[in-house]
C-alpha cells in the first residue's frame, strides 16, 4: 500500500463521521482524491489531506482504543464517504511508514464532524 491520506484540521482534529455510534475515519489513496472528496463534503471544508504514518495513526487512535474507531478506504472520491471499504486498524498500522522507526502514543482522538 502506498501513502494514505486522512483529513486533518489546523487545530489537530482529525475528520471522522459517526456510523451507528462509532467513529469512522476516511482514508484516501492520494491527496488529490482527498481534495476532491473535500470539495464535495461540506463537513470537511476546514480540513486538509495529511499523509499518514505510524505516529499520526496513533494520534488518531491512541493505543488500546482500536475498537472505538473504524477506518474506511475511499477509492472513489466522487462517491459517498459511507461507501468506503472498511480497513482494520491492525492492517492499516502494518502498512504505515514510520518517520523515525518508533511509534509514539498521543492522546488526540478523532473529532466527530
What secondary structure, in 3-state letters, does 22-56 show? EEEEEEECCHHHHHHHHHHCHHHCCEEEEECCHHH
- pTM of the full structure: 0.77
pLDDT reported for residue 106:
36
What is the domain partition of the chain in residue ranges? 5-112
Give tens-digit pLDDT for 30-87: 999 999 999 988 889 899 999 998 888 888 887 666 667 889 999 999 988 888 899 8
Torsion of CA 68, 65, 26, 22, to 10 degrees: 10
Amino acid at each position: 500500500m502506498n501513502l494514505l491520506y486522512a483529513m486533518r484540521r489546523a487545530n489537530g482534529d482529525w475528520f471522522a463521521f459517526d456510523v451507528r455510534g462509532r467513529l469512522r475515519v476516511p482514508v484516501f489513496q492520494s491527496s488529490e482524491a482527498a481534495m476532491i472528496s473535500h470539495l464535495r463534503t461540506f463537513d470537511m471544508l476546514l480540513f486538509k489531506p495529511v499523509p499518514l504514518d505510524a505516529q499520526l495513526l496513533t494520534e488518531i487512535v491512541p493505543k488500546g482504543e482500536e475498537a472505538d474507531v473504524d477506518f474506511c478506504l475511499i477509492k472513489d472520491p466522487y462517491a459517498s464517504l459511507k461507501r468506503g471499504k472498511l480497513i482494520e486498524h491492525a492492517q492499516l498500522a502494518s502498512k504505515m511508514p514510520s518517520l523515525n522507526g518508533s511509534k509514539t502514543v498521543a492522546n488526540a482522538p478523532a473529532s466527530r464532524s
